[in-house]
Structure 1
Amino acid sequence: MANSNHYDTLQVSSKATQSEIKQAYRRLVKLFHPDSNSETAGHEEIVRLNAAYEILGDTQRRQSYDRQMHKHSTAAPGSRQGRTASTQTQYRQQKRQAGQDTDEQLQQWLTQVYKPVNQMLARILNPLGAQIDKLSADPFDDELLEAFQTYLNTCREFLNQAQQCFRSMPNPAPVAGVAAHLYYCLNQVGDGIDELEFFTLNYDDYYLHTGQELFRIAAGLRREAQVAIRDI
């Protein structure tokens, strides 16, 4: 292990809390960001900070990194692709578990899965435009950024609830198409929240635009699910 490690890069102790690591990263990114302070701007520093926070900002990756620092073997932490593959496996298992569907099963799925998931998706997707408009007044303003972060935290809570609800029972055969639209919609929402969250940490508009585009795709998938449900 090199003398300089990710904790040194973020200027925090190896015992620092996740909140302290996040605050240190945000402070340093603002210091070295070219739009924030031209005198201290440095592309190499930004790259080093991003690499350090990508590990230490994620609890599982941080634990793996800590084990490496103590020379213990460890498996690589799950990536976004890994999480998506896991979700796909769960979805296929649900389809295999689904037997012959009755009208009662169909109504139960519509009531217990589709309706609540659809409502939670609306609570995530619909406010994004207004939230970004507020943030655009001054993306470097701490209060505006914290308000946007609060919105993202709420989105994560709704997403977790929606995913749990979606997995709560197998989808009947007649709604397989609807379930597929919801499945991909939830994936896009999850990835979009990740991108928007990263913007709040490094002020890079790329992540803001990418997050918006992923939410736009998710909104389209939600509309397709609504159209498909009317044809059943």
Structure 2
Amino acid sequence: MSSFNHYQTLDIHPQATAQEIKQAYRRLAKRFHPDSQTETSNVEKIVEINGAYEVLSDPQRRRFYDQQLFNLQFSSKRRTRQQRNEAAQKQYQRQRRRSYNADIHLEDWLQQVYKPVNRLIIPILKSLNTQINQLAADPFDDELIADFQTYLENCRHDLNQAQITFRSQPNPSPVAGVAASLYYCLNQLGDGIDELERFTLNYDEHYLHTGQELFRIATSLRHDAQDAIKHIND
């Protein structure tokens, strides 16, 4: 069967009557016939018109042609549906892969960054009051100061490890708020250790109090990160 549509060739509706088919043929034959001596004369076009009329003017051949045309259109629609279904399935699979990869990235970040960082900084935050209470027995005692300095050195070491771990991989977008709270927590903790170290050099209690306040802020930021994680898991 030709690739073109006879109804389109004659510029008529598929439900056209025999009279309408004849009228359309006469109109087009007059326009495109090579003997018309007009600018629109076209041998190839008149061949197409004659072929279309030959089929559509014969009731039996027209019925057969209509059935073929229907089968082609049905097959085309079925292929289109299949293509749409395949495209939708591929899109769904891509979305599932992206979702799966995002879940894996999130789980990796929680296991390899968030939890290790917390394990390093929680002992620092919770031990400060105990250390200050021990130092309060005699802030000018060399042995107590030395012990407090050793404690701060250990804090600095653990904080450095926490900062390295935090920077080891980018955070997933769902935990951007968590990462921000944790980042500021580490910064406040570092500033707090700096202030406490200054106290051991000049015994100015201003640095001691400032260091405690910065530790308190760091603790609050860690709690903010913890609460945000709970909301994500919920």
TM-score above 0.5, yes or no:
yes
Shift, 1:189, TM fit = 0.3
Is the counterpart of residue 133 in structure 1 residue 133 in structure 2?
yes
User: Secondary structure at 1:231's aligned position in 2?
Assistant: helix
Write the letter of the residue equivalent to 1:110: L
Does residue 1:143 correspond to 2:143, yes or no? yes
**Corresponding position of 1:115:** 115
Describe the SS at the equivalent of 2:158. Answer: helix
User: Residues of 1 paired with 2:221 and 2:215: CA distance?
Assistant: 10
Aligned-pair distance for 1:213?
Answer: 0.2
Q: Residue in 2 aligned with 1:197?
A: 197
Aligned equivalent of 2:158: 158
Gaps of 5+ in 1: 1-98
1:150 shift after superposition: 0.7
- Quick one: distance in 2 between partners of 1:169 and 1:124? 23
Match of 1:40 in 2: none
Alignment partners' CA distance in 1, 2:111 and 2:219:
21
2:129 is matched by which residue type in structure 1? G
Q: In the alignment, residue 182 of structure 1 is paired with which amino acid?
A: L
**CA shift for structure 1 position 119:** 1.1
Q: Deviations over 1:3-25 (max 9, x none)?
A: xxxxxxxxxxxxxxxxxxxxxxx
Sequence identity of aligned pairs in percent? 67
The count of corresponding residues between Structure 1 and Structure 2 is 134
Q: Match for residue 106 of structure 1?
A: 106
**Partner residue of 1:177?**
177
Structure 1 residues 1-232: aligned runs within 5 Å: 102-232=102-232
Give the structure-1-normalised TM-score: 0.57
Q: 1:147, 1:153 → 2: CA distance? A: 10
CA distance in 1, matches of 2:170, 2:225: 17
Query: What's the CA shift for 1:121?
Result: 1.0
CA distance in 2, matches of 1:116, 1:151: 20
More helix per residue: 2
Displacement of 1:181 = 0.3
Query: Alpha-carbon deviations, 1:113-133, whole Å to 9, x = none?
Result: 000101111011100000000
CA distance in 2, matches of 1:127, 1:158: 13
Tell me the distance in 1 between the aligned counterparts of 2:116 and 2:128.
19
C-alpha offsets along residues 208-228 of structure 1, whole Å, 9 cap, x if unaligned?
000000000000000111100
For residues 35-55 of structure 1, give each alpha carbon's deviation from its aligned partner in whole angstroms, at most 9, with x where no partner exists. xxxxxxxxxxxxxxxxxxxxx
Counterparts of 1:151 and 1:122, CA distance in 2: 14
Please list the CA deviations of residues 67-95 of structure 1 after superposition, one character each: whole Å capped at 9, or x if unmatched: xxxxxxxxxxxxxxxxxxxxxxxxxxxxx
Alpha-carbon distance in 1 for matches of 2:201, 2:189 = 19
Task: Give me the TM-score of the superposition, normalised by structure 2.
Answer: 0.56
Structure 2: 5+ residue stretches without partners: 1-97
Equivalent residue, structure 2, for 1:93 = none
One-letter identity of the residue aligned with 2:193: I
The structure 1 segments of at least 4 consecutive aligned residues displaced by more than 3 Å after TM superposition are none
Deviations 1:145-201 (A, max 9, x none): 011001100000010000000000000000000000000000000000000000000
Name the residue aligned to 1:63: none
Give distance in 1, aligned partners of 2:223 and 2:158. 18
